[in-house]
Amino acid sequence: MALSLQVEQTAVTWEWGSALIVGRALLWAAEKKRVQKLVTEGKLSRSVVTRFVAGDTLEDAITAIKELNARGIGGILDLLGEGVQDAVGAGAAFEEYLLSIRRIEETKIDTTVSIKLTQLGLAFDKGACIDYVRRLAAEAQAIGTYVEIDMEQSEYVTDTIDIYKHLQKDFDDLRLALQVYLRRTPGDLEDMATIAPKVRLVKGAYKEPEDIALEKGKEIDAQFRFLTTWLFDKGADPGIATHDSDLIAHAHRAAQSSGSDKGSYEIQMLYGIRRDLQEQLATDGYRVRTYVPFGSAWYPYLMRRMAERPANLRFFLRALVGK
Ligand SMILES: Cc1cc2nc3c(=O)[nH]c(=O)nc-3n(C[C@H](O)[C@H](O)[C@H](O)COP(=O)(O)OP(=O)(O)OC[C@H]3O[C@@H](n4cnc5c(N)ncnc54)[C@H](O)[C@@H]3O)c2cc1C
Model confidence over 198-218: pLDDT tens digits? 999 999 999 899 999 999 999
pLDDT, one tens digit per residue, over 285-323 is: 999 999 999 998 887 888 888 778 766 766 666 655 554
pLDDT, one tens digit per residue, over 258-288 is: 999 999 999 999 999 999 999 999 999 999 9
Whether residue 202 has its Cβ less than 6 Å from ligand 1: yes
Q: If pLDDT is split at 50, 70 and 90, which confidence band does 5 have?
A: very low
User: Which residues share a beta bridge with 23?
Assistant: none
Question: What's the CA gap between 225 and 249, in Å, rounded?
Answer: 10
Residue-level pLDDT at 287: 98
At 293, which helix (H) or strand (E)? strand 287-294
The 3-state DSSP class for residue 288 equals strand
Nearest Cα neighbor of 227 from 270, 285, 284, 187 is 187
Question: What's the CA gap between 105 and 84, in Å, rounded?
Answer: 27
**Cα 150 to averaged position of ligand 1 atoms, centre (Å):** 13
- Domain locations in the chain? 54-297
pLDDT mean across residues, the chain: 88
pLDDT greater than 50 at residue 166: yes
At 147, which helix (H) or strand (E)? strand 147-149
Residue-level pLDDT at 69: 98
Say which range, 18-32, 129-143, 209-223, has the weakest mean pLDDT.
18-32
Phi and psi at 84, nearest 5°, equal -65, 140
Cβ contacts of 274 within 8 Å, gap of 6 or more: 243
Residue-level pLDDT at 307: 79
Of residues 50 and 36, more confidence is placed in: 50
**Cα 312 to averaged position of ligand 1 atoms, centre (Å):** 13
Which residue puts its alpha carbon closest to atom 29 of ligand 1? 244
CATH for the stretch 54-297: 3.20.20.220
pLDDT greater than 70 at residue 25: no
* Overall average pLDDT of the 123-152 stretch: 98
Question: What's the CA gap between 22 and 308, in Å, rounded?
Answer: 10
Whether residue 244 has its Cβ less than 6 Å from ligand 1: yes
Whether residue 203 has its Cβ less than 6 Å from ligand 1: yes
Helix, strand, coil % (nearest 5) of the chain? 60, 15, 30
pLDDT, one tens digit per residue, over 221-255 is: 999 999 999 999 999 999 999 999 999 999 999 99
Of residues 20 and 132, more confidence is placed in: 132
Pocket test for ligand 1, best of 26, 203, 302, 315 (most atoms within 8 A of CB): 203
User: Which residues share a beta bridge with 289?
Assistant: 74, 268
